[in-house]
Amino acid sequence: MAQHYRLRYQVYCVERSFLPAENYPDQHERDEFDEDSVHVGAVDAHGELAGTARIIKPNRRGLPMFRYCALFPHVRTFEEDGNVAVEVSRVSISRHYPSRGAQAHQPPTEAGGASVRATQRRRRSEPFLTLVKSIMQGAKRAGATHLVGATDAAFHRWLTHYGLPYRVSGLEVDYYGPVAPCIMSLVELDDVILSGRFRSLEGFPVGWNPDLWPGQPGHVDSSALVAADGAALSGHGALHI
């Protein structure tokens, strides 16, 4: 877990200045919600933690997003029987990560540098998609039917660009910058994955039986793995940075 907390400190305190660095003298960013969370990560082929996130399960404190955000009146997701929501937060990929990998593994330059630029775009997307895949696994392992998060406009565009049905469900507020509450049905996500319309979602888990997910015996893709409360198990092998 130490690597995850250090990366969160790097992103939230140093790079984004969302939290005061002086409050974390050990350079490990953590709070009271970590004990009620599933922690996930993406590790590249060289053993470096590329990204981390946590999935906060229902708990006695509530979900922290709702301390700041409110849903539109017509959104009734949480009133429907059988729906279980978890909150994704502390999504962290250092802005320096792609450049470090690119410097170490730069391909030969081709005409106009087009091949290099395409490779760099792929390198930026790989840790992001691997982390998103691990978030979906973590949410399903926690028994969730819906994923919620306080999301800025840029992150929301990334998610919808790759095909995730992540819907703005409330007004924008100032919560670590301008964000809006968003909700995604994991059942709807399964339908999108099975439709085959988005190549980026190939290998994402479908259903709630982990034995049938990619990455399990007989269905191998070990790019994104998760662990239960208070621990983290990061995926290896999907990133080649």
Question: Among 47-51, 114-118, 216-220, which range has the highest average pLDDT?
Answer: 47-51
Q: Which residues of 179-218 are buried (b: 16+ CB within 10 A; e: fewer)?
A: bbbbbbbbeebbebbeeeeeeebebbbbeeeeeebbbeee
Residue 10 one-letter amino acid: Q
What pLDDT is attached to residue 210?
A: 86
pLDDT at position 46 over 90: no
Domains of the chain, earliest start first: 2-212 (3.40.630.30)
Higher pLDDT, 211 or 58: 58
pLDDT, tens only, 80-93 = 999 999 999 999 98
What sections of 142-185 are H helices per DSSP?
153-161
Tell me how far the alpha carbon of residue 25 is from its chain's centroid: 26
Write the CB contacts of 87 (distance below 8 Å, at least 6 apart in sequence): 55, 56, 63, 64, 65, 147, 148, 149
Model confidence band, residue 112 (pLDDT cutoffs 50, 70, 90): low
Closest CA relative to residue 167, chosen from 77, 46, 235: 77
- Write out the two tokens for 48: 């470096």
Write the CB contacts of 202 (distance below 8 Å, at least 6 apart in sequence): none
Residues 2-8 have a mean pLDDT of 93
Residues 27-36 have a mean pLDDT of 96
What pLDDT is attached to residue 97?
A: 73
pLDDT at position 101 over 80: no
What pLDDT is attached to residue 161?
A: 93
Closest CA relative to residue 57, chosen from 39, 78, 36, 83: 36
What pLDDT is attached to residue 191?
A: 97
What pLDDT is attached to residue 237?
A: 30
Percentage of the chain surpassing pLDDT 70?
A: 77
In this structure, of 34-48, 139-153, 165-179, the range with the lowest mean pLDDT score is 34-48
For the chain, the average pLDDT equals: 81
Q: Which residues of 46-84 are buried (b: 16+ CB within 10 A; e: fewer)?
A: eebbbbbbbbbbeeeeebbbbeebebeeeeeeeeeeeee
Of the chain, the end-to-end C-alpha distance in Å amounts to 22
Half-sphere exposure of 46 (CA within 13 A, CB side): 11
pLDDT at position 19 over 90: yes
What pLDDT is attached to residue 149?
A: 95
- Write out the two tokens for 173: 């507020």
pLDDT at position 56 over 90: yes
What pLDDT is attached to residue 226?
A: 42
